[in-house]
Amino acid sequence: MAVWDGIQNLGWFMLAGLLLNLTPGPDLLYILGHALRPRQGAARAGVVATLGVITGCLVHVAIASAGLGALLAASATAFGVVKWLGAAYLVYLGLRSWRASGAGPGQAAVPAATPSDGAIFRNGLLTNLLNPKVVLFFLAFLPQFIAPEAADVTAAFVVLGLIFCANSLLFCLGCVWGATWAGRRLGGVLAPVRPWLERVAGVMFIGFGLRLALAETPAR
């Protein structure tokens, strides 16, 4: 098939994708945050969060393959708008997580309503979609595995993007399974420190947001 002829080093591509998925980031933190929560349906919430994040990745692949990603990389204004929206959203998630843990030592956590599947999916989608560095990642990473003599570069790009998203889906679902398994067996141990885990997650989200806000606009 012509499209497969345009792809090179597929095994190395899949290995590199796995290693990249192992790198902690806001997407994985968001997924694990739902899968570890002490409530019925934590596994379901983790799966829905995963589907939201992966849908965002698929949108980024579509944007990059359509050439809009290159436009985003070349336009300081477009990149800046998406960057600041994404940074603000990550900081918002961090502050919400911190607030849910309680304002300080000895204070009770603020009860949080159980979010609906739709809200979990939407927030996962936005966490991924409002990060312009994701589409730039696809633009920089995927072409390295497209053969110079590829007959249809766009088709090869889309196939690689879909493979990356599929591998990410399996990886994230594995993380959800591991997190819910640990949550069921270590729930009693984690309960006393859960407020502090919420605060750590909040600080990490805020840190991701600040790092995104300080990211430089790609050189034209």
- Identify which of 213, 217, 201 has the alpha carbon closest to the alpha carbon of residue 24: 201
Residue 218 covered by a domain: no
Give backbone dihedrals phi and psi of 146, rounded to 5 degrees, phi first: -105, 125
Structural domain span for residue 139: 2-213
Which residues in 81-184 belong to E strands, given as ranges? none
Beta carbons within 10 angstroms of residue 51's beta carbon? 19
**pLDDT for 17 beyond 80:** yes
pLDDT of 124? 93
Residue 121 covered by a domain: yes
- Identify which of 27, 32, 83, 82 has the alpha carbon closest to the alpha carbon of residue 55: 27
Q: Which residue has the tokens 């766009």?
A: 154
Residue 127 covered by a domain: yes
pLDDT of 106? 47
pLDDT of 217? 59
Residue 73 covered by a domain: yes
pLDDT of 105? 45
- Identify which of 73, 57, 42, 69 has the alpha carbon closest to the alpha carbon of residue 178: 42
C-alpha 168/C-alpha 23 separation (Å) is 12
What are the tokens at 2? Answer: 């012509």
Question: For residues 107 and 83, which has the higher predicted lDDT (pLDDT)?
Answer: 83
pLDDT tens readout for residues 38-79: 666 888 999 999 999 999 999 999 988 887 666 666 677 766
pLDDT of 52? 96
Q: Looking at this protein, which amino acid is placed at residue 180? A: T
C-alpha 67/C-alpha 56 separation (Å) is 17
62 burial level (CB within 10 Å; 0-12, 13-18, 19+): middle
What are the tokens at 213? Answer: 């806000």
Half-sphere exposure of 59 (CA within 13 A, CB side): 15
The structure's pTM equals: 0.77
Residue 219 covered by a domain: no
**pLDDT for 80 beyond 70:** yes
pLDDT of 183? 74
User: What domain count does the chain have?
Assistant: 1
pLDDT tens readout for residues 86-133: 788 788 877 877 776 554 444 444 445 678 899 999 999 999 988 877
pLDDT of 126? 92
Residue by residue, DSSP assigns 43-96 as: HHHHHHHHHHHHHHHHHHHHHHHTTHHHHHHH-HHHHHHHHHHHHHHHHHHHHH
Residue 182 covered by a domain: yes
Question: What is the length of the chain?
Answer: 220
Residue 220 covered by a domain: no
Contacts of 84 (CB under 8 A, 6+ apart): 213
